[in-house]
């Protein structure tokens, strides 16, 4: 029987009973794997609900400072579940439908959009490790992360245009800022699959590494995050995220208010002592 409300769709997803997201805690960082490799980690309702729940737990875990998101098998994520989309279309034709277009809107906003907001608004560092194709909403999640690494052979797939959809879940924001309007427009209309090396040239990913080195490269960034004083990332991430939307004067003002707070931290004091000690040693 087709679920007719958002609450019913959500309840059915929560009761699937199949583990589709695996979380591995490693001290100050965690690895989250989309774990439905036979379906290329398609963002089915159960996988999406489990992913959001996993990230919700991690963003409130005070011991975790960084999170790696990757896929099991040969894909990062094939994107949204076409079966779900088809059912949504059929539901809209059903006279018994009670929520209309607000049902897919709720799913897109609270589940897909909710995950993207968790990534962007959290004080944790999120690293996407693209082990294979990243399409549609899967690509949106990768672009929402603070850093994106790709294995050689990974591709970025703009699946939305050919399906008659729009850039989704923050993709329009990420693409226009990375590519500029004209190249973002061409990417949407052309539906080009961008390989890892080209994505690096365009600034859509930070690094391209051999597949067998992907996780190690992602964990190296986690180590760099862990080496920062605890307050630094929590203060810098929202400042950097918001700077793209601010005028130069407003960004400068934010920095002026934030910087003095750093002077009061033990992390800053320790850093200064280390630099002074190194400088003194160099002069001897």
Going by pLDDT thresholds of 50, 70 and 90, the confidence category of residue 72 is: very high
pLDDT digits 0-9 by tens, 121-160: 999 999 999 999 999 889 999 999 999 999 999 999 876 6
Question: Which pLDDT does position 96 carry in this prediction?
Answer: 61
Joined tokens for residue 82: 């076409």
Q: Which of 22-26, 125-129, 243-247 has the lowest mean pLDDT?
A: 243-247
> Which band of pLDDT confidence, cut at 50, 70 and 90, is reported for residue 284?
very low
**Residue 81: predicted pLDDT:** 64
What does the alpha-carbon distance between residue 44 and residue 57 come to, in Å, rounded to a whole number? 20
More reliable by pLDDT, 127 or 4: 127
pTM (2 d.p.): 0.85
pLDDT at 202 over 80: yes
Report the chain's mean pLDDT, rounded to a whole number: 85
Number of H helices, E strands in the chain: 13, 9
Which residue is associated with the tokens 């899967």? 138
Q: Are 115 and 48 in contact (CB under 8 A)?
A: yes
Distances (CA, A) of 8 to 45, 92, 253: 11, 16, 47
Closest by CA to 20, choosing from 103, 77, 65, 61, is: 77
If you classify domain 6-227 with CATH, what class do you get? alpha beta
Q: Are strands 155-157 and 207-209 parallel, antiparallel or unpaired?
A: unpaired
Q: What residues does each domain of the chain span?
A: 6-227, 230-283
CA 146 – CA 111 distance, rounded (Å): 20
* pLDDT for the residue numbered 133: 95
Give me the pLDDT at residue 101, please: 62
The end-to-end CA distance of the chain, in Å, is 79
Lookup: tokens for 152 = 């050689």
Contacts of 49 (CB under 8 A, 6+ apart): 10, 13, 14, 111
How far, in Å, CA of 270 to CA of 277, rounded? 11
**Closest by Cα among 155, 150, 215, 144 to 177:** 144
Token pair of 187 as six digits: 């990417």
């Amino acid at each position: 029987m087709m679920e007719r409300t958002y609450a019913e769709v959500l309840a059915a997803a929560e009761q699937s009973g199949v583990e589709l997201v695996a979380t591995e805690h490693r001290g100050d960082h965690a690895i989250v794997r989309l774990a439905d490799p036979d379906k290329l980690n398609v963002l089915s309702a159960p996988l999406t609900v489990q992913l959001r729940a996993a990230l919700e737990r991690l963003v409130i875990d005070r011991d975790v400072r960084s999170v790696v998101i990757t896929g099991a098998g040969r894909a990062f994520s094939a994107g949204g579940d076409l079966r779900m989309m088809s059912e949504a279309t059929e539901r809209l034709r059903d006279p018994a439908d009670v929520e209309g277009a607000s049902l897919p809107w709720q799913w897109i906003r609270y589940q897909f959009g909710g995950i993207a907001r968790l990534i962007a608004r959290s004080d944790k560092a999120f690293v996407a490790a693209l082990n294979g194709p990243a399409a549609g909403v899967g690509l949106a999640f990768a672009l929402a992360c603070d850093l994106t690494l790709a294995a050689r052979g990974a591709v970025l797939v703009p699946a939305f245009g050919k399906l008659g959809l729009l850039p989704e879940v923050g993709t329009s924001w990420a693409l226009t800022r990375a590519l500029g309007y004209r190249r973002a427009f061409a990417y949407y209309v052309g539906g080009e699959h961008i390989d890892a090396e080209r994505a690096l040239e365009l600034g859509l990913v930070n690094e391209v590494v051999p597949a067998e080195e992907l996780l190690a490269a992602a964990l190296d960034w986690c180590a760099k995050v862990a080496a920062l004083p605890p307050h630094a990332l929590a203060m810098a991430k929202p400042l950097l995220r918001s700077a793209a939307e601010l005028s130069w004067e407003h960004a400068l003002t934010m920095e002026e208010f934030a910087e003095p707070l750093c002077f009061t931290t033990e992390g800053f004091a320790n850093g200064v002592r280390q630099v002074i000690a190194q400088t003194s040693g160099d002069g001897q």
